[in-house]
Amino acid sequence: MRKLILAAASIAALALTGPALAQSPIIIKFSHVVAADTPKGKASQKFKELAEKYTGGKVKVEVYPNSTLYKDKEELEALQLGSVQMLAPSNSKFGPLGIREFEVFDLPYILPDLKTLRKVTEGPLGLRLLKLLDSKGITGLAYWDNGFKQMSANKKLIAPADYQGVKFRIQSSRVLQAQFKALASLPQVMAFSEVYQALQTGVVDGQENTWSNIYTQKMHEVQKYITETNHGYIGYVVIVNKKFWDDLPADIREQLTKAMKEATDFNNTQSQKENDDALAEIKKSGKSEIIKLTPAQDEAMRKAMEPVYKDAASRVGQPLIDEFLKESKSTTN
């Protein structure tokens, strides 16, 4: 009798867990380090909405903004281990992973505008770079823009000489290190989540970032001056754990690809506006003085940073840098 009751109980349990198991959604944890109210923050939310809609709820996307799950370097390790499925790290983050080719995106003034950038990322060169991620157990799905970087500090940064001895927070990038060395500054690698406090307490004197990142991290509240240099670019590669992606049922992968394409269009059409709005808010706050450079001052900055190209060529090879430069020339001509 006891055996019979037990058997009946286990059949009942099976009946309960069977359909429940079949219905349990595939979870995609999407971790990132910036605020929700930024181009990347909004696009990841958009991807979540579209992915859940197109898969009819078979996929659930959990977005973790603001380094709530992982900081810069940790997030890539977590993705490779499969603890998180999706990320959108900046291009700068792939050099330290051994994919040096991505260092080119960090070169000062390499991309004059978003139009040129798009030609690189949407053309054969962009695809080739994404493919390089495969060897690290990573699948690259899309390029998302943020925008151009500005320099901030508690002193006025106008001429290259003003940068001498200033401690700058940088992302972990050989090119960014060389850039500040060329200016005789003292670069210091630091996770994005620690920048505000480091600026506030004087651990570093300055930093470089986009208007949207400066504004949403409140860096302008602890930096007296921001110089509108547009000297470099921050953009992202949306990546997934390769095994996770390859193991997905084909129809789900297709629906997610469609969601990613639309989230990418959404990001890349509104990132510029996000940065323009952030600049307007910073101006309105009156907390930071915005410095504009004259053409001659801009030229002096470009000249001072020229040695960075040679340094980068020794690691990624001149031909790859030339490929980027070719796109700039063909856009402006």
Residue 90 binds ligand LMR (CB under 6 A): yes
Q: In the structure encoding, which two tokens stand for residue 51, read together?
A: 């992915």
Taking the least distance from each CB to ligand LMR, the nearer of 116 and 209 is 209
Query: For ligand LMR, which residue of 31, 171, 255, 275 counts as binding (CB under 6 A)?
Result: 171
CA–CA distance, 9 with 15 (Å, rounded to integer):
10
Residue 146 binds ligand LMR (CB under 6 A): yes
Least gap, CB of 90 to ligand LMR (angstroms)? 3
Residue 81 Cα distances to 57, 124, 138, 222, 244, angstroms: 25, 29, 10, 37, 11
Residue 86 binds ligand LMR (CB under 6 A): no
Of 81, 87, 47, nearest to 64 by C-alpha is: 87
Residue 152 binds ligand LMR (CB under 6 A): no
Residue 209 binds ligand LMR (CB under 6 A): yes
Residue 268 binds ligand LMR (CB under 6 A): no
The answer to whether 157 and 163 have CB atoms below 8 angstroms apart is yes
Taking the least distance from each CB to ligand LMR, the nearer of 234 and 316 is 234
CA–CA distance, 188 with 192 (Å, rounded to integer):
12
Order the strands of the 86-87 sheet from edge to edge. Answer: 59-64, 26-31, 86-87, 233-241, 138-148
Q: Which helix (H) or strand (E) holds 39?
A: helix 39-54
Taking the least distance from each CB to ligand LMR, the nearer of 255 and 271 is 271
Least gap, CB of 91 to ligand LMR (angstroms)? 9
Question: Token pair 């690809």 is at which residue?
Answer: 257
Residue 216 binds ligand LMR (CB under 6 A): no
Of 154, 130, 146, nearest to 275 by C-alpha is: 146
Least gap, CB of 104 to ligand LMR (angstroms)? 16
The answer to whether 74 and 172 have CB atoms below 8 angstroms apart is no
Least gap, CB of 203 to ligand LMR (angstroms)? 15
Q: Scan residues 272-301 and list those touching ligand LMR (CB under 6 A).
A: none
Q: In the structure encoding, which two tokens stand for residue 61, read together?
A: 């996307």
Residue 121 binds ligand LMR (CB under 6 A): no
Residue 34 binds ligand LMR (CB under 6 A): yes
Residue 213 binds ligand LMR (CB under 6 A): yes
Taking the least distance from each CB to ligand LMR, the nearer of 177 and 209 is 209
Least gap, CB of 101 to ligand LMR (angstroms)? 18
End-to-end CA distance of the chain: 88
Query: For ligand LMR, which residue of 107, 120, 138, 234 counts as binding (CB under 6 A)?
Result: 234
Least gap, CB of 329 to ligand LMR (angstroms)? 27
HSE-CB of 67 using CA atoms within 13 angstroms: 11
Residue 33 binds ligand LMR (CB under 6 A): yes
The site for ligand LMR (CB under 6 A) is made up of: 33-34, 90, 146, 171, 192, 209, 213, 234
